[in-house]
A and B are shown apart, each in its own frame.
Chain A
Amino acid sequence: MSKELTHAARGPQDIAKLTPEQAKKVVTFGAVAAVVGLAVAGAAFAADKQRFAFSYLVGFMFVTTIGLGALMFVLIQHVVRAGWSVGPRRQMEWITGILPWTVALFVPVAMTAHTLYEEWMGPNGHTDKAIAKKLGYLNPSFFFTRAAVFFAAWALLSWWFSKTSAAQDDAKKPGEITLKMSAVSAPSIFVVGVTLTFAAFDWLMSLDPKWYSTIFGVYIFAGGFWSSLALLALVTLYLQGKGFFAKVSTVEHRHDIGKLLFGFTVFWAYIAFSQFFLIWYANIPEETIFFKHRWIDSWQTVSMTLLFGHFVIPFLWLLPRTIKRHKLGLGIAAAWCLVMHYVDMYWLVMPNLDHHGAHFTWIDLGGLLGPVGVATLAIALRASKGNLFPVGDPRLPEAIRLQNL
């Protein structure tokens, strides 16, 4: 009965499932991306192990933050009982498919941990008084234990919410499943918020163990949520362009994704500026050193690129309603945002290696393509299975009726 109802509500044009050939093509694409990415990463690793360690961390954080942003999006949609996002939520569930793979992606980071976190993992950690005080938290065994907890929590949440949402597709009582997901999502937001914050502290902030910023976790969240929306926009545009969606994901949904992308452009800038402003004003050497490193030589150009590329340009570009609704307009913005998120991660990690200015090499590309390839495969595997949108969600008719004024 409920299946018939939803079928009638969504109309005949929406395509709920990929054909086996299409699904195979998606998985093949993901597999090729993973193989190519890992091959370039392997070559980069062989060429320069030290540089690769840092380059890889950039790529690892790039895909992990996108996966976490997507997970946060899914949780927020459930907790606020959002109607408009029922269709796009399924695509975000695919993107959270990155998260169960992050534990495997972390292996190279774990292997190179002594290079990356030399300052506190190495002998210096015990001799430097300021760092020695922090060794109760910053020590390898606790570091890896925490990482294990993060990966377990993320994999579990990504798996549970996608599985439950997929099970709803042909459930007899879909309403109960909606309420269950809504109830679980609230504490889950807390779990993701805390694990994301400490992961940011552990993997990025501890590269320079003497420097600290309490807003750092929020900064990483802002960038991750922002870029996951950008990726969602690209996936949505692709599926819409291929003619899969007639009603569940239209120009109206695209417009809403664009609005969120715009909103989080501002949010990131607000957080980034808050971090900078307090450090600038207090002017304490142990804090200003972070920005001093990022103001040396060509790092200054990268910092300004972030100011304009991560905020000013996307802000002005996404301001008009027409651009947010326009396929190419939103597509350009989304692709741009993903590039800028990479620049952001690069800007956080690489000054710890390149002390005298930024210089991008192909090793950095290897460090990026490896994780991106694996993430593409992870998303492709999720996309190839099940329905393209939650066909059993009781809020689907509400999503279809979405209209922007």
Chain B
Amino acid sequence: MPEPKKKSKAHALVGYFDTPADLFHACETLRDEGYRDFDAHTPFPVHGLEHAMGLKPSRLPWIVLACAAFGLGGATLMQWWMGGVDYPLNISGKPAFTLPSSIPIMFELTVLCSAFGTFFGMWGLNRLPRFYDPVMKHPSFGRATDDKFFIAVEAKDSKYDPEGTRALLEKLGAKELTEVEP
């Protein structure tokens, strides 16, 4: 994480826009100006916002793929060890370890581990569980779930500058710009 140019005690500069279009353009502008650590909070999903913010594709699929491979491999090993080596049972004359009878377990564990990978991987990437975010200190933040489109530029961003960023956002039409404490 690059050091901020100017040390600021604030956590982030938070403001809001009246329309999703204004927020969209603001995100595009911030992205083009080189900002990375900023976030948008909207009452409903705004399509294409991730492109406007310049977000990179999520790494989640790779986590899921790794978990799926682990589930598949683990299930195969488990079936082989338990059924074929450790405690072989004769069930209607079938071989102790064989693929057809193991496939349901292999399939289920692949799906289960993928689901866990997706769910907890998402937690990890979003740094959850977290019950509180300094951005919520903005006096009007409740309206992010109602009728306003919030933007929060974090102070740790290398481009962050209390006056410059504020001026830029004001120019873009942001209202009630407030620096929130950590």
Contact = CB atoms under 8 A, between A and B. Distances in A.
Interface of A: 273, 276-277, 280-281, 283, 319, 321, 401, 403, 405
Contacts of B94: 281
Interface string B34-49: 0000000000000110
A234 B93 CA distance: 47
A401 B46 CA distance: 12
A281 B47 contact: no
* 9 nearest CB pairs, A to B: A280-B100, A403-B47, A403-B48, A277-B100, A273-B103, A405-B50, A283-B92, A401-B47, A281-B101
A266 B4 CA distance: 49
A373 to B, nearest CB: 40
Contacts of A403: 47-48
A321 B61 contact: yes
Given A283-B92, A321-B61, A277 B103 contact: yes
A280 B99 CA distance: 11
Contact of B100 (A276, A401, A405): A276
Interface string B81-119: 000000000001110000011011000000000000000
Nearest to B104: A277
A75 B101 CA distance: 37
A132 to B, nearest CB: 31
Contacts of A321: 57, 61
Interface of B: 47-48, 50, 57, 61, 65, 92-94, 100-101, 103-104
A262 B92 CA distance: 36
A57 B65 CA distance: 41
A277 B47 CA distance: 44
Contacts of B92: 281, 283
B118 to A, nearest CB: 14
A319 B110 CA distance: 15
Nearest to A279: B100
B39 to A, nearest CB: 17
6 contacts: A276-B100, A277-B103, A281-B100, A321-B57, A321-B61, A403-B48
Given A280-B100, A319-B65, A403-B47, 9 more contacts: A277-B103, A281-B94, A281-B100, A281-B101, A283-B92, A283-B93, A321-B57, A401-B47, A403-B48
A188 B32 CA distance: 52
Nearest to A273: B103
A281 B104 CA distance: 12
Nearest to A282: B92
Contacts of A281: 92, 94, 100-101
A101 to B, nearest CB: 39
Contacts of A405: 50
B111 to A, nearest CB: 11
Contacts of A401: 47
Contacts of A319: 65
Contacts of A283: 92-93
Contacts of A277: 100, 103-104
A303 to B, nearest CB: 13
B177 to A, nearest CB: 29
A207 B177 CA distance: 76
Contacts of B93: 283
